[in-house]
Amino acid sequence: MSFVAWDCIKGLNERKLSSELFCLKDFGFTVVPFVIEHYDIEDDFDYLKKLAKILDYPIDGIVIKYDNIDYYQSLGSTQHHFRGGLAFKFYDEEYETTLKYIDYDISRTGVLTPVAVFEPIDIDGSTVSRASLHNLSVMEETLGECCYFGQKLAVYKANQIIPQIAWAEKKNFNEVIMNNGMTLDHFPTCPICGTLATVGESATGVKYLYCPNEQCEGKLAQQIDHFCGKKGLDIKGISRATIEKLIDWGWINSIVDIFKLQSHKEEWIDQPGFGKLSVNKILSAIDESSKNVDLSAFISSLGIPLVGRTVAKEIIKYYSTWEDFRDAVGGDWTIFDGFGPEISNAINKFNYVEADEIVKYLTFAAPKENNKCGDLTGLTFCVTGKLNSGRWKNRDELANYITSLGGKVVSAISSKVNYLINNDATSTSAKNIAAQKNNIPIITEIEFNDKFGQNC
């Protein structure tokens, strides 16, 4: 990995972006290549493309900013971008090839991801022969509803990294006849267990394929790998390959069997590729992982759709024990900030039978006395200007969040105010001026979120 500096957020007193970059370069950082021009760049787009040639790594565009930092900041920002700059994006170059067939990957929830396999082509110095089609809706929109072989298609690298299909010719059943005289049925079977796939549909109308076999070893291996991985309990030493072998040997038929492997210790040591040292390390890691378990890590490890570490951490702000969480399942989760109907449905429809069994083998860490992020008791805030982080829809929502944590929100600046929240610190508004006169810190919405909100 390489680090390339392209800006300095704070710490330098230079008033030009170019001066900051020169300083960073003097400090020893690799900085993004840049040029300073003083004419209407829109009149010469070819010049921008020439700038890309000075790099020895791929890019998908060039950013143009005002060099004067004060002027740049004075222009403010929208909810999407700063007004002091613009991005010039290059068109992705497309390469034609021919589709060979559709392959399928299986996720831990049994969802099958279609992958287009095509005649190999060279793109930007690497050979490409596969591109994800994401789900059934995207596959049918891109390739049509049937006959997934032989079509001409165009491939490009999104951001010059990820292969994507730009377009493909579509066929129908009447146009394609297989060699044996039968039309091609594109409906797949699970690549692991061979069970005929089933069509599902999300709340937003997106169609997807999934394996309905609850005993599918591919689904089980993915679930256990997720449970043991960094997004779960982070059990060291138990790799995906080891998990697949344990399943093949019949020692693991569910996640809870991870905590019963001690009974297979002697025969495990005798298996090829293992030994006493490696087996003891894995068993010790499993035992260690069962103690002082973080509740959010456990909830995340279960593989509840749409519930990763971030959502799990939000959950334990309101329910600090497993019992409290289980009692809440079935209720309306949309009352909590950031929980939409899809997350709410996913939490309520998940099967917790195995999770309740796993809990018997775990010791959870003691819940924190205050699970809410931050304690604003005794602090007074004033909020002004537009919000743009997406964390809160409007100032009233932010005010309600502050008061829920014990803080107070006022409409006018006085010496009793501790912070003024305003995304435009350079504004000459009456509240900004009053805050400056009273030496009251002016913080942005993101700075507030980092200090007291979701990110603290």
Give the CATH number for residue 407. 3.40.50.10190
Would residue 340 count as lying in a domain?
Answer: yes
Q: Are residues 273 and 304 in the same domain?
A: no
310 and 285, same domain (yes or no): no
pTM of this structure: 0.54
Helix, strand, coil percentages for the chain (3-state, nearest 5): 35, 20, 45
The three-state secondary structure class of 373 is: coil
Residue that terminates a domain, selected from 189, 210, 231: 210
CA dist 242 and 273 (Å) reads: 10
What pLDDT does 379 receive?
A: 87
Continuous H helices in 171-254: 217-228, 240-248
User: 258 and 160 share a domain?
Assistant: no
Task: Among 156, 183, 210, give the residue marking a domain's end.
Answer: 210
CATH of the domain at 150: 2.40.50.140
Instruction: Say yes or no: 250 and 226 in one domain.
Output: yes
In this prediction, residue 44 carries a pLDDT of: 63
List, in order, residues 6 or more apart from 179 with CB less than 8 Å away: none
Average pLDDT per 10 consecutive residues for the chain, totaling 456 residues? 87 90 93 77 64 69 88 81 82 88 87 93 89 92 83 84 88 51 59 89 86 86 91 89 92 94 94 92 94 94 89 86 92 82 92 95 78 69 84 80 83 87 84 88 86 65
Residue 313, in any domain of the structure: yes
**Residue 372 belongs to some domain of the structure:** no
The answer to whether residue 137 is domain-embedded is yes
Q: Are residues 240 and 147 in the same domain?
A: no
In this structure, the answer to whether residues 112 and 182 fall within a common structural domain is yes
Say how far apart CA 198 and CA 220 lie, in whole Å: 18
Q: Are residues 81 and 109 part of one domain?
A: no
Give the domain CATH number at 283: 1.10.150.20
Looking at the fold, whether 303 and 356 belong to one and the same domain comes out as: yes
If asked whether residues 121 and 195 sit together in one domain, one would say: yes
- Token look-up 């409906």 returns 187
| Cα–Cα distance measured from residue 303 to residue 225, given in angstroms and rounded to the nearest whole number | 10
pLDDT of residue 145: 78
CATH number of the structural domain spanning residue 299:
1.10.150
pLDDT at 451: 80
Residues 413 and 323 in one domain: no
Contact criterion met (CB below 8 Å) for 115 and 103: yes
| Number of structural domains found in the chain | 5
Asked whether residue 284 falls in the same domain as residue 301, the answer is no
Instruction: Check whether residue 31 and residue 137 sit in a common domain.
Output: no
Residue 4 lies in a domain: no
Quote the pLDDT of residue 19.
94
Which residue, of 289, 307, 334, is where some domain finishes?
289
- Please report whether residue 173 resides in a domain: yes
Q: Is residue 7 part of a domain?
A: no
**What's the pLDDT at 456?**
53
Domain holding 333, by residue range, is 295-361
Classify residue 6: in a domain, yes or no.
no
- Confidence (pLDDT) at 372: 47
Annotate 386-398 with b (16+ C-beta within 10 A) or e (fewer). Answer: ebbeebbeebeeb
